[in-house]
Amino acid sequence: MKKFTYFTSEFVSPGHPDKVSDQISDAILDACLADDPNSRVACEVFCTTGLVVVGGEITTTTYIDVQEIVRKKISEIGYRPGMGFDSDCGTLSCIHSQSPDIAMGVDVGGAGDQGIMFGGAVKETEELMPLALVLSREILVRLTKMMKAGEIAWARPDQKSQVTLAYDENGNIDHVDSIVVSVQHNEEVSHAEIEKTVIEKVVNPVLEKYKLNTDNIKYYINPTGRFVVGGPHGDTGLTGRKIIVDTYGGYFRHGGGAFSGKDPSKVDRSAAYAARWVAKNVVAADFADKCEIQLSYAIGVAKPVSIKVDTFGTAKVDEDKISEAIAKVFDLSPRGIEKALELREGKFKYQDLAAFGHIGRTDIDTPWERLNKIEELKKAINL
């Protein structure tokens, strides 16, 4: 009898209360950077029934209309009157300027804080991402699009998915074990209709794309039987509570720092993007089948305190040599990362990353997904 190990990743929709907060935080960041690319932003949002609270440190030369940004984003996400939370909510702004004690370290090119950041890549999908996370995300991308297009008229914005994969003794994916989907809905729709629609129109088309073994799959669709009250009306939302959803679904480690609402001088964000960039190029160069990069920083110091490479026993090149090559090829100072990854140039919106994840996106041209350092890495290792 075959023995399996199981791995699960989850994802949440843009209408999840924590994601509502993330997107508002990043919409405020986008507004600041649009007129003042050198803005310093650390903005967090709390949302609940009828109220959005915006707080944090912002130093910028531009003016931003917080109320307008909040209301526009809530409307875009899809919350309407009658759902318990909508754009006609109260907003409270508690923003002040960045601490001069922090600014003095950032002004000279140092990191905005101490911290550890991780990035990873694995040969499970074309984009070198963990498959469980990719499937969980694609299910909700499809469900959200169908909701907004009116193809699933009973669906509301707050949605969750979860995918469990079974791995054989060699570490290869054998089959899909289970799928969980919870979707907020109108009062009138029956549970049977929700279950049938989600499985047939949302989940199955995603699974078919990857040609996976689904013979004995277990489905859990709205397992409580009812999900009418949702969003910030059903649960409070807070910026930065979905950091695992934002990255690798738990497949790789996470340093603990959130991304949303932070300008690129914050290494919580920029160095995590850089670590993904490094790991993806290492795997694409075929130095390993799986790679995790850890970067660490000290506040006010430009160069990383440490760079650690872990290939989980899949390395085809000595890990020490990989680490040395990374240090030669990549400028991992905060300003070097900002420049290389075009983090202040307005080529993408941070709020779009907050909606469906910051890592492994194929629908947005994010520079940290580019495979543009493969030859330099090979040259550095003399391959």
Task: In whole angstroms, give the CA distance from residue 282 to residue 309.
Answer: 10
186 with 150: CB under 8 angstroms?
Answer: no
E-assigned strand segments in the chain: 5-12, 40-48, 51-59, 90-96, 115-122, 155-167, 173-185, 218-221, 237-238, 290-297, 306-310
Q: Is the pLDDT score of 106 beyond 70?
A: no
Q: Is the pLDDT score of 109 beyond 80?
A: no
Annotated binding site for Mg(2+): 18
45 with 275: CB under 8 angstroms?
Answer: no
Of 103-112, 257-266, 302-311, the poorest mean pLDDT is in: 103-112
Annotated binding site for K(+): 44
Q: What is the dihedral of CA 52, 54, 55, 58, to 10 degrees?
A: 180
| Environment class of 90 (CB within 10 Å of its CB; exposed 0-12, middle 13-18, buried 19+) | exposed
Q: Is the pLDDT score of 338 beyond 60?
A: yes
Q: Is the pLDDT score of 97 beyond 90?
A: no
pLDDT value of position 107:
60
pLDDT value of position 108:
57
Annotated binding site: 16, 18, 44, 57, 98, 158-160, 226-227, 235, 241-242, 258, 262, 266
Within 8 A by CB and 6+ apart from 205, the residues are 142
The pLDDT tens digits for 118-168 are 999 999 999 999 999 999 999 999 999 999 999 999 999 999 999 999 999
Annotated binding site for ATP: 16, 158-160, 226-227, 235, 241-242, 258, 262
Task: Supply the DSSP symbol for 111.
Answer: B
Task: In whole angstroms, give the CA distance from residue 66 to residue 50.
Answer: 16
pLDDT value of position 111:
77
Mean pLDDT (whole number) for 329-344: 96
232 with 49: CB under 8 angstroms?
Answer: yes
Annotated binding site for L-methionine: 57, 98, 235, 266
Bridge partners for 226 per DSSP: none
Q: How confident is the model at residue 103 (pLDDT cuts 50, 70, 90)?
A: low
Task: In whole angstroms, give the CA distance from residue 248 to residue 242.
Answer: 11
Bridge partners for 334 per DSSP: none
pLDDT value of position 113:
79
pLDDT value of position 382:
86
Residue 155: both structure tokens together? 């669906």
Mean pLDDT (whole number) for 304-320: 96
Of 94-103, 168-177, 314-323, the poorest mean pLDDT is in: 94-103
Of 76-80, 98-102, 352-356, 364-368, the poorest mean pLDDT is in: 98-102
pLDDT value of position 221:
98
Q: What is the DSSP string of 319-348?
A: HHHHHHHHHHH---SHHHHHHHTTTTS-SS
Nearest to 50 by CA among 92, 93, 94, 90: 90
Q: Is the pLDDT score of 110 beyond 80?
A: no
pLDDT value of position 1:
73
Mean pLDDT (whole number) for 233-250: 97
Q: For residue 32, how many other CB atoms are within 10 A of its CB?
A: 23
Q: How many residues does the chain have?
A: 383
220 with 180: CB under 8 angstroms?
Answer: yes
pLDDT value of position 102:
58
Mean pLDDT (whole number) for 89-99: 87
Q: How confident is the model at residue 2 (pLDDT cuts 50, 70, 90)?
A: confident
Task: In whole angstroms, give the CA distance from residue 31 to residue 238.
Answer: 20
The packing angle between helices 319-329 and 267-284, to 10°, is: 120
Q: Is the dihedral of CA 297, 302, 306, 307 positive or negative?
A: positive
Question: What is the percent of the chain where pLDDT is above 70?
Answer: 97
Cα distances (Å, whole numbers) of residue 289 to 69, 108, 281, 344, 355 = 43, 38, 11, 32, 29
Mean pLDDT (whole number) for 346-359: 97
Task: In whole angstroms, give the CA distance from residue 224 to residue 216.
Answer: 22
Q: Is the pLDDT score of 105 beyond 70?
A: no
The pLDDT tens digits for 271-302 are 999 999 999 999 999 999 999 999 999 988 88
Within 8 A by CB and 6+ apart from 169, the residues are 2, 3
pLDDT value of position 112:
73
